[in-house]
């Protein structure tokens, strides 16, 4: 049983379209992280959100942490083929060092 549920599992869109990936849990997290992983490589941290209601922007990527710190979303505006990859959310409990990962969302952006 995944502590963090990600949806959708797969997403295929045309270049220029927008997309949103969701990460939901019944547990409260002290922080939530989003990673991007490309084939044959390890996950690379994109952002960490720590405050309920927090919104962080990284160029065309917008990350939001739910008010109750149980859920998060990643929105990509005007997606590009370079955004293709596996997006993983991971939560950290209070006073915990073990990340709990979602199963990931495979995003494919077609040129």
2 binds other proteins (CB under 8 A): yes
Closer by beta carbon to other proteins, 82 or else 97: 97
Please provide residue 83's backbone torsions phi and psi, each rounded to the nearest 5 degrees. Answer: -85, -5
> Contact region for other proteins (CB under 8 A) — 14-22, 57-65, 68-76, 101-109?
101-109
Closer by beta carbon to other proteins, 59 or else 97: 97
Please give the residues from 27 up to 56 whose contact with other proteins meets the rule CB under 8 A: 40-45, 48
Cross-strand bridge partners of residue 47: 34
The alpha-helical segments, DSSP class H, found in 6-93 are: none
Contact indicator for 6, 102 with CB cutoff of 8 Å: yes
**CB of residue 102 to other proteins, shortest distance in Å:** 5
Six-digit token string for 21: 């990936």
Choose among 88, 71, 85: nearest CA to 23: 71
Residues near other proteins, by CB under 8 A: 2, 4, 6, 9, 40-45, 48, 88, 90, 92, 97-104
């Amino acid at each position: 049983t995944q502590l963090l549920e990600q949806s959708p599992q797969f997403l295929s869109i045309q270049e220029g379209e927008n997309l949103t990936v969701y990460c939901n849990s019944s547990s409260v997290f002290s922080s939530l992280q989003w990673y991007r992983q490309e084939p044959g490589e390890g996950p690379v941290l994109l952002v960490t959100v720590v405050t309920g209601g927090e919104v962080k922007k990284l160029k065309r990527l917008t990350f939001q942490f739910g008010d109750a710190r149980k859920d998060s979303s990643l929105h990509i505006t005007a997606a590009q083929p370079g955004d293709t990859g596996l997006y993983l959310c991971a939560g950290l409990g209070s006073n915990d060092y073990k990340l709990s990962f979602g199963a990931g969302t495979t995003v494919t952006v077609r040129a």
